[in-house]
Amino acid sequence: MRSRRFFAGFVWFEMIPQDQTTFGDIGNCMSACIASILEIPVSDVPNFCCVKEHPEFDPNWFCNMGNNFLMPRGYKPRFRKCPQGYSVAMGMGPRGHRHSCVALNGEIVFDPHPDRLGLETITEYMILEKIDE
């Protein structure tokens, strides 16, 4: 898949869009967003079930994502209000489930769901902050 370039201010940003491969309450949209931003295959990112109502909900999903997946790759997840650069925008999707999309400077630039409808509301943004070495 080819990298997409987005111009914001005086800087070009790149990412490789990755479509989600599972759908519904246990869909892997967040995994697809993380894969897109890190420019790795979605199959390399675990599905972090963060829907409390789902029977497979893992109450430690955020710790597992940060400690077991992102930190070994040099990143830590952080929540921000309308961040600069790439982030995972989360909120209610148009299909009645919580959903995640890739945002750039607070604006959605990629929806990993095949219908590309985005989010009805954005409730939070998560950045992948590079860990200083």
| 52-106 per-position pLDDT tens digit | 555 555 666 666 777 778 888 898 888 888 888 899 999 999 998 889 999 999 9
CA gap 89, 100 in Å, rounded: 6
Q: How many domains does the chain have?
A: 1
Its pTM stands at 0.83
CA gap 46, 61 in Å, rounded: 10
- Other beta carbons less than 10 A from residue 80's beta carbon: 14
**What rounded mean pLDDT belongs to the chain?**
82
- In terms of residue numbers, what domain contains 88? 4-130
Which residue(s) pair with 101 in the sheet? 89
Tokens of 65: 């994502």
Tokens of 116: 């590309």
